[in-house]
Amino acid sequence: MIFEGIESFLGNTPMMRISRLFRDLNVFAKLEYLNPTFSIKDRPAYYMIQEAVRKKKIHPGNTVIAATSGNTGLGLCLACKINQLNLICTVFDSVSIEKIALLKSYGAHVVVCDSDVPSDEEGGYVWVAKSLSQEIKNSVLIDQFVDINNPLAHYQTTGPELYEQLRGKIDYFFSTIGTGGTISGIGRYLKEKNPSIKVIGVEPEGGIYRDTFLQKTPLYSDHLIHSISDNFISQNMDFSVVDDIISVKDIDSFRLCYELLDREQICAGTSSGCVLAGIKKFFERTEVINPEPIITTVLPDCGLKYIDTLFNPDYLEQHDIRLDGKSDDELRQQI
């Protein structure tokens, strides 16, 4: 079959059983890094731009402005080029150099903001995107934290694909949470199909979604899984489709990325490690009544975007991530 236009390759990603890594559990993962710019965020980026064009909110030659941790920006590069739009991305300074270099290579203008400032406060990357959109003529803010086309992309594409691929035989769906688009869109679709499917969020320790879900006062602290669990709650997060949110240590997320590479030869980014660490932790602690639950998830992006962090021994050492031994934190807990 001959395809025309890179957008023909959006979605319809393969589903793979992760059986060499999880020998005792039925874990199926949708390989979302096989989207055109190597992440799941191509789907909502395309949806948000197509809708804005359809509703005549943007016209060729206009400038799109978006706050992004990189992947949505890359998806927007694709959608903007197709629609002859300029693109300005605001990112925070801890976004990987690979993502920033890729954004620039695709032709986006990148504004790097201070990650110490809360994202939606003055100087933070979400705040800067909003204020640029007020200053720049003929510009439109694409706000993935608010735009309903973000979860809708997953409700209309990722969710149905995942459900069909497993022929509806699903007991658990696990997802990390950034804007909440993935978990809210897929979660809503699955719950409508079968309310007994459990939807479980996974975040790094330090994230604020778990405490918010448990109705505790959340306290954000820095973590190393930069594209998820930011320091504010996204409006697009729909807690009503979620059954539980668990948190995992950064070192376990990193470790699972290496195990995934070693056992399955899948090179995925840190949020993929995070969700797999979450599945592992959840089933170490949960007594499962159904003897062979079907567990599914998505692997959001590609490990090649993290060569300077996840796959850089100096970076791991600087952050006390000792994958062959125990971390200081783990040793301290043993004493």
- C-alpha to C-alpha distances, 18 to 15, 32, 260, 281, nearest whole angstrom: 9, 14, 9, 16
Give the separation between CA 254 and CA 277, rounded to whole angstroms: 9
Q: Does 115 bind ligand PMP (CB under 6 A)?
A: no
Candidates 104-112, 116-124, 172-180, 187-195; binding stretch for ligand PMP (CB under 6 A): 172-180
Q: Does 301 bind ligand PMP (CB under 6 A)?
A: yes
Q: Does 227 bind ligand PMP (CB under 6 A)?
A: yes
Side chain identity, residue 324 = D
DSSP string, 212-259: HHTTSPP-----S-TTSS-SS--TT--GGG-SEEEEE-HHHHHHHHHH
Residue 176 or 253 having the CB closest to ligand PMP: 176
Candidates 55-63, 111-119, 170-178, 316-324; binding stretch for ligand PMP (CB under 6 A): 170-178
CB of 216: closest distance to ligand PMP in angstroms?
21
Among 75, 201, 300, 303, binds ligand PMP (CB under 6 A): 300
Give the separation between CA 272 and CA 301, rounded to whole angstroms: 7
CB of 177: closest distance to ligand PMP in angstroms?
5
Compute how many residues bind ligand PMP; rule: CB under 6 A. Answer: 17
Give the separation between CA 219 and CA 221, rounded to whole angstroms: 7
**102: nearest Cα among 65, 77, 84:** 77
Using CA atoms in the order 57, 60, 63, 68, what is the torsion angle rounded to 10 degrees? 80
Phi first, then psi, for residue 146 (nearest 5°) are: -120, -35
Q: Does 182 bind ligand PMP (CB under 6 A)?
A: yes
Q: Does 73 bind ligand PMP (CB under 6 A)?
A: no
Residue nearest to ligand PMP (CB): 178
Rounded to 10 deg, the angle between the 71-82 and 42-54 helix axes is: 40
CB of 38: closest distance to ligand PMP in angstroms?
10
- C-alpha to C-alpha distances, 6 to 36, 78, 82, 263, 281, nearest whole angstrom: 7, 8, 9, 31, 38
Q: Coil, strand or helix: which one is 175? A: strand
Residue 180 or 204 having the CB closest to ligand PMP: 180
Per-residue binder mask for ligand PMP (CB under 6 A), 184-213, x = binder = ------------------------------
Per-residue binder mask for ligand PMP (CB under 6 A), 263-292, x = binder = ------x-x---------------------
Among 67, 76, 87, 228, binds ligand PMP (CB under 6 A): 228
CB of 292: closest distance to ligand PMP in angstroms?
28
Q: Does 69 bind ligand PMP (CB under 6 A)?
A: yes
Q: Does 309 bind ligand PMP (CB under 6 A)?
A: no
Candidates 15-23, 161-169, 171-179, 288-296; binding stretch for ligand PMP (CB under 6 A): 171-179
Q: Does 176 bind ligand PMP (CB under 6 A)?
A: yes
- C-alpha to C-alpha distances, 83 to 63, 203, 291, 305, nearest whole angstrom: 11, 35, 50, 26
Q: Do residues 297 and 290 touch, judged by C-beta distance below 8 A?
A: no
Q: Do residues 173 and 297 touch, judged by C-beta distance below 8 A?
A: yes
Which residues sit at the interface with ligand PMP, rule CB under 6 A? 39, 41, 69, 71, 176-182, 227-228, 269, 271, 300-301
